[in-house]
Amino acid sequence: MKKKVTFLLDPTNLWMEGFLKKYNFKLKNKYNFKITKNLNSVKFQDIVFPICYTKILSKNFLKINNLVLIVHPSKLPKNKGFAATQHEILKNKNKIYVTMIKADKKPDNGPICLQDYFNLNGTELIDEIRRKQATTYLRIIKKFLNKYPKVFFRKQRGKENFINRRKPKDSELNINKTIKHQFNNLRINDNELYPSFFYYKNNKYLLKIFKDNKKN
């Protein structure tokens, strides 16, 4: 009998949706897949993957579904919380870890199943960063599904730290600093949802960034 697998998307954070819909896990003989944005419709599933979900899942949700797995972009227990990839880039990190854990009543606190990573070269803008992140997310999910049910979990070990959710004000640039000094801030901001901006003479200015891929 095929296992029921649901991907739960957050309606306020849908950047992974396009990547997920296009991806072929090549496992249809083993699983029935469903993608939904409706939390209340997810019940009695064998496996649930909340993808980029920004809300805390209730104890009841964890109870009525057999296995709920979170993919978090950090080397847990480091950098628990929101926007871990962006925080790492702001620290000039180019090796970004991804950890799959079993969902727990405390955010990013469950036992670890798998870890992977992707590399950046320091020039990618947000769309390119998301593409690499999505590829790694899907790769680690496929690896889990290929192994399941022969999977193992281990407790998180080491010192944990929590990072804050980024807010629109975090996209502000300092006009007295160079572009080079603020390039990482520029590259992690979304041109449409939370563009970079600065204030000058009591006016607010938006600053959007694109790569010119035309060959000279």
d(CA 36, CA 38): 5
State residue 8's pLDDT score: 98
Tokens of 183: 């390039």
Q: What would the pLDDT profile of 176-201 be if each residue is shown by its tens digit?
A: 999 999 999 999 999 999 999 999 99
d(CA 46, CA 137): 19
State residue 168's pLDDT score: 87
Compute the average pLDDT of residues 21-29: 91
Residue 70 has pLDDT above 60, yes or no: yes
d(CA 190, CA 216): 27
In this structure, are residues 3 and 46 in contact, taking their beta carbons and an 8 Å threshold?
yes
Residue 170 has pLDDT above 60, yes or no: yes
Q: What would the pLDDT profile of 76-96 be if each residue is shown by its tens digit?
A: 999 999 999 999 999 999 999
Q: What would the pLDDT profile of 108-121 be if each residue is shown by its tens digit?
A: 999 999 999 999 99
d(CA 87, CA 174): 18
User: How does residue 5 score in pLDDT terms, banded at 50, 70 and 90?
Assistant: very high
Compute the average pLDDT of residues 122-141: 97
Residue 144 has pLDDT above 60, yes or no: yes
Compute the average pLDDT of residues 48-66: 95
Residue 214 has pLDDT above 80, yes or no: no
In this structure, are residues 187 and 126 in contact, taking their beta carbons and an 8 Å threshold?
yes
Mean pLDDT for the chain overall: 95
Residue 215 has pLDDT above 80, yes or no: no
Sign for the CA dihedral angle at 108, 130, 163, 155 comes to positive
Return the domain boundaries, the chain: 3-162, 167-207
d(CA 76, CA 63): 23
The residues, ordered by sequence, that sit 6+ positions from 215 with a Cβ below 8 Å of its Cβ are: none
Q: What would the pLDDT profile of 10-22 be if each residue is shown by its tens digit?
A: 999 999 999 999 9
Q: What are phi and psi of 32, to 5 degrees?
A: -105, 120
Q: What is the CATH number of domain 3-162?
A: 3.40.50.170
State residue 213's pLDDT score: 81
The residues, ordered by sequence, that sit 6+ positions from 63 with a Cβ below 8 Å of its Cβ are: none
State residue 216's pLDDT score: 57
In this structure, are residues 158 and 77 in contact, taking their beta carbons and an 8 Å threshold?
yes
pTM score: 0.94
d(CA 196, CA 174): 10
Angle at the Cα of 95 (from 154 to 26), degrees rounded to 5? 65
Residue from 28, 30, 65 nearest 50 by CA: 65
- Measured in whole angstroms, the distance separating CA 183 from the mean position of its chain's CA atoms is 21
Q: What would the pLDDT profile of 152-167 be if each residue is shown by its tens digit?
A: 999 999 999 999 888 8
Query: Rounded to a whole number, what is the distance in angstroms from the first to the last CA of the chain?
Result: 57
Sign for the CA dihedral angle at 85, 193, 6, 21 comes to negative
The SS3 call for residue 39 is helix
Residue 7 has pLDDT above 90, yes or no: yes
